[in-house]
C-alpha cells in the first residue's frame, strides 16, 4: 500500500505530465500554423508520449491501492517567438520534469518505498533520454543557424529525428 504522501506526490507528477502533453500539443498546432510539418509531427508524438507517461503513473497508483486524480491543467501558451525558443522551452520543461522525478525518488527513499523506487527507475532513464534528445535538437538548430533557409532545414532535421524515434519505439515494442 502506498503512503498518502507518496500518492499525493505522484498525483502532482500526473499533473506535470498532463501539462507537458498539452504544452506539446499546443506547440504542434503552432508548428502546423507556421508550415513546419516535421516539427508538428514530432511535437504530436511528444504530446502522445507525455500522455502515456501520465497514464503509466495513474495505473501504478491504482496497482498500489491508491487513487489517481485527474488534474486541472493550466492553459499552455499558443504562440512562440521562434522554433529555437520553442525547443528551448521544451528543454527547460524536460529539466523541470527530471527534477520532479528526482524528488519522487528522494521521497521514496525517505519512506523506504522500494516498490515506488523501482517503478521510478523507468522515468529516470526516460528523462535522461528526453533531455539528451532536446539538447541534440538545440545543437542542430544552433548549427543550422537563423538564415532565410534555416526553417526548412530545421524542419527536415526534426522530421528525420521523429522518424528515427518512431522506428526505435516500434523496435522496442517488438522486443
Residue range 33-61, pLDDT digits in tens: 999 999 999 999 999 999 999 999 999 99
> The domain at 4-174 falls in which architecture?
Up-down Bundle (1.20)
**Where are the domains positioned within the chain?**
4-174
Task: Give pLDDT, residue 148.
Answer: 72
Task: Give pLDDT, residue 155.
Answer: 94
Beta carbons within 8 Å of 69's beta carbon, 6+ residues apart: 11, 14
Half-sphere exposure of 100 (CA within 13 A, CB side): 20
pLDDT digits (tens, 9 = 90+) for 81-140: 999 999 999 999 999 999 999 999 999 999 999 999 999 999 999 999 999 999 999 999
76 membership: H or E segment, kind and range: none
- Cell numbers representing residue 170 in the block: 516500434
pLDDT digits (tens, 9 = 90+) for 55-88: 999 999 999 999 999 999 999 999 999 999 999 9
Amino acid at each position: 500500500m502506498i503512503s498518502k504522501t507518496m500518492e499525493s506526490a505522484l498525483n502532482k507528477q500526473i499533473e506535470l505530465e498532463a501539462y507537458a502533453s498539452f504544452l506539446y500539443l499546443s506547440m504542434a498546432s503552432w508548428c502546423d500554423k507556421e508550415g513546419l510539418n516535421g516539427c508538428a509531427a514530432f511535437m504530436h508524438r511528444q504530446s502522445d508520449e507525455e500522455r502515456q507517461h501520465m497514464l503509466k503513473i495513474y495505473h501504478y497508483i491504482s496497482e498500489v491501492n491508491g487513487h489517481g486524480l485527474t488534474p486541472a491543467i493550466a492553459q499552455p501558451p499558443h504562440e512562440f517567438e521562434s522554433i529555437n525558443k520553442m525547443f528551448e522551452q521544451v528543454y527547460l520543461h524536460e529539466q523541470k520534469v527530471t527534477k520532479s522525478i528526482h524528488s519522487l525518488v528522494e521521497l521514496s527513499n525517505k519512506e523506504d518505498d522500494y516498490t515506488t523506487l523501482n517503478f521510478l527507475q523507468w522515468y529516470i532513464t526516460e528523462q535522461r533520454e528526453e533531455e539528451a534528445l532536446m539538447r541534440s535538437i538545440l545543437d542542430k538548430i544552433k548549427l543550422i543557424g537563423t538564415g532565410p533557409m534555416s526553417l526548412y532545414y530545421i524542419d527536415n532535421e526534426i522530421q528525420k529525428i521523429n522518424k528515427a524515434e518512431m522506428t526505435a519505439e516500434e523496435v522496442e515494442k517488438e522486443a
